[in-house]
Amino acid sequence: MSAINSPLEIYKLLNKSNCQKCMLPSCMAFSVAVVQGGKQLKDCPELDAQVIESLGVPENPRKTIEDEQQISLNKMIQKVAEVNFSSVAEKLGGIVNHNKLAINCLGKDFFIDNSGEMTSECHYNQWVHIPLLNYIIHGQGKEISGEWCPFNELKGAASWSRFFAHRCEEDLRQLADAHTDLFFELLNMFAAQEVAKTDADYSLVIYPLPKLPLVIHYWMAEDDFPSKMSIFFDRTAPDNLNIEYIYTITRGIIEMFRQLIVKHNMTGKLF
């Protein structure tokens, strides 16, 4: 076999366990990434090295996460140039100011111009930039319903749910366990609001985007019971942001918190 051009050809070689050891949500996602150059066959630890060698397939140049993000960003920048900000501002919960669309993210205003450039009083964050452009281009502006549900119950979340549980909820729990006071101080810095009448030790709602709230429930460890972290979204979330970018912006919040914790805790260490 001199070349593999179809994800299905690669998928047939895999054990189809969706183990996520390649850091992608499924074996099919891995197959697509190999064809696109984002992953190599050897990145699947379950695929026998002799099988890879027997294929005689030259490795594609490997793309980093930053490369893939830049490709996505470039595509969205082209699309946002076609958007009339005045016609979408109200439904997205934003305002037009000096020909820029202002969207509030975690209590801070981010400004997008027609070239897709993002400015803010905050440091540049590509984890926010890409979802924000997707929100502008594809967001339906659906009103928040008040019906909360876990990520895995959102429309279209099936292939991302285990990935979300591991890379978002579990990672966030570890941060809250290690730096409880600082963690919740940071949430308050980003306009978190308390949620009443829950059995969790902490229940806070934050707004990564005006019509994309999420609720963080955290139970501290007690006696023989370990700590627990759950993230809930409004049922309308996938109508206002593509499910992939709901994951991306949540993951971005975690990365931001990691950096802030290292900067502000007394040891200068994460764990």
Report domain extents, the chain: 7-63, 66-138, 148-264
Residue 5 pLDDT greater than 80, yes or no: no
pLDDT of residue 28: 85
pLDDT of residue 186: 94
For the residues 164-193, what does the mean pLDDT come to?
95
Residue 8 pLDDT greater than 60, yes or no: yes
Residue 2 pLDDT greater than 70, yes or no: no
For the residues 148-154, what does the mean pLDDT come to?
97
Can you tell me which residue has the tokens 């206002």?
Answer: 240
Residue 204 pLDDT greater than 90, yes or no: yes
Alpha carbons 72 and 60: distance in angstroms, whole number: 19
Residue 20 pLDDT greater than 90, yes or no: no
Alpha carbons 148 and 157: distance in angstroms, whole number: 15
pLDDT of residue 1: 41
Chain Cα centroid distance, residue 152: 14
Alpha carbons 141 and 236: distance in angstroms, whole number: 9
Highest mean pLDDT among 14-23, 27-36, 66-75, 166-175: 166-175
Alpha carbons 166 and 119: distance in angstroms, whole number: 31
pLDDT one-digit tens code per residue, 31-87: 888 877 778 888 888 888 888 877 765 555 555 556 676 777 888 888 999 999 999
pLDDT of residue 63: 58
Q: What percent of the chain has pLDDT over 90?
A: 58
Alpha carbons 35 and 51: distance in angstroms, whole number: 17
CA angle 49, 50, 53 (to 5 degrees): 90
Alpha carbons 218 and 182: distance in angstroms, whole number: 14
Burial environment of residue 170 by CB neighbours within 10 A (0 to 12, 13 to 18, 19 or more): exposed
Query: What class has domain 7-63?
Result: mainly alpha
